Amino acid sequence: MNATLQGISLKDRLMSEYELQRTALLLNNPLLERFREGAAKSFGEKGFPSRKDEEYRYLQFNEILHSDLSAPFALNIDSKAKTQLDYSLIDESAPLIVISNGFFNAELSNLQSLPEGCAITSLATAVKQNDKHAIAVLGTLAKPAKDVFVALNSALFMDGVFIYIPKGIVLEKPIQILQHIQSEDSIFAQPRILLVAEKHTEAKIVHHNQSTRNTSRSVSNTVIEIELDEGAQVEWLSVQEEGKTTACIVSTESHVRKHANLRHISVALSGLLVRNNLNVVLDDENCEGHLYGYYHPSQDEVIDNHTLVEHRKPHCESNELYKGVVDGNGTAVFNGKVFVEKDAQKTNAFQSNKNILLSEGGSVNTKPQLEIYADDVKCSHGSSTGVLDPEQLFYLRSRGLRIEKARALLLNAYAGEVLEQIHSEDLREKLASRIEKLITF
């Protein structure tokens, strides 16, 4: 699929932009230059996916990847950005990172409360300064050959955020990333986020995607790489509120070492199209990966979650629970796979996907999968799609509640199973309030 404008496809325009800016970032580093060239070649060979591609068969990109999209070359944002941003999930006493149109926005960020030794900086700055921790991991987890959007980001990204947490540091406050698009033009932002957590660290990350101006259809294509060393404990909360004219593609690659634990919670509430690719590799003994998600497409929105948990070594555990509510003509997709390699004996892996349809026009496509090559494991998976329980509704109405209130109570309890995984009570309450406002009757 290649959208065209005056005979020039979007793919060709982006490849031309790559040629123009290829030397702008990765200077004097042959390894990263080859990585970027390989990514561009991979994207050039594959192009954008169509419905013939199994991994993207339920998505329609024709109206989203239109040919007047352009990748920004530098931070260009007006002075109104701060007032237009939604800070309602932000803890003012905690570090704040703002990514504007794919670039680290130092003016709007606040990094004064970081513990000694921690580093949060522009990814472009870290690369140009040859930061050894950033260079060692960048591009090693998210492989361009595996996915076309990872390849596109790897070829075109100009900036993003690098977070480094040194050995033994326990962060009491969350690191907050507020990512947004603000432009009168249709832009195709390519931000990249890299987190390196060394041995026996603890951190919480809140990543909030939002669109602050909806005058044109834009796309954000984000790649996130997470490296957790031995004993690291990280909770990553992703909140997506992109509005009706912005599409959001997020590809997250996580590498988890011995005794480390990744807890990833995704709350996708709006967006013209939201696609989450979440891959977790459990690459040592006695490590854990826990994935939770709630999604709520309405009207003509599409929210698609693809997850992959790879068990490579023995004595590891993964749990996965994704729950969705589909309203109006919304579409939800869940494709989750647990892969257990031959040497990964004593694996415990559980996966569940549940969906509720609030209207006849909504649709759900779900495909939980297990692929197991070890013989001493405990693995299960399941999926269900239905409507609100009429007996529960009847019970609540018999106690004097209106139908609207009864439905709201049931749906809040339904979403609560995911939200309770969030460490912060304040964030749980704020997200529950947002979900309640989404419910239409």
Residue-level pLDDT at 419? 96
Question: Is residue 435 situated within a structural domain?
Answer: yes
Residues 212 and 100 reside in one and the same domain: yes
Question: According to the model, what pLDDT value does residue 214 have?
Answer: 56
Assess whether 205 and 85 both reside in one domain: yes
Beta carbons within 8 Å of 363's beta carbon, 6+ residues apart: 326, 330, 331, 332
Regarding whether 409 and 260 lie in a shared domain, the answer is: no
Instruction: Note whether residue 186 is domain-resident.
Output: yes
Amino acid 404: pLDDT = 81
Of 239, 255, 284, the last residue of a domain is 284
Q: Flag whether 341 is in a domain.
A: no
The structure tokens listed for 119 are: 């580093």
Whether 112 maps to a domain, the answer reads: yes
According to the model, what pLDDT value does residue 7 have? Answer: 44
Each residue of 343-388: pLDDT tens digit? 999 999 999 999 999 989 999 999 999 999 999 999 999 999 999 8
Residue 152: inside a domain: yes
Does 382 fall in a domain?
Answer: no
Mean pLDDT of the chain: 91
Q: Are 56 and 194 in a shared domain?
A: yes
| Domain end (from 254, 284, 314) | 284
Planar angle of CA 330, 149, 7, nearest 5 degrees: 90
Among 284, 312, 345, the domain boundary falls at 284
173: containing domain: 4-284
Say if 289 falls within a structural domain. Answer: no
pLDDT lower than 70: segments of the chain: 1-8, 23-28, 78-80, 213-215, 440-441
Beta bridge partners of 384: 354
Residues contacting 387, CB < 8 A, separation 6+ = 356, 357, 358
Our CA angle for 222, 220, 428, nearest 5°, is: 75
Q: Does 161 map to a domain?
A: yes
Please give the pLDDT value at position 235.
98
The pTM score is: 0.94
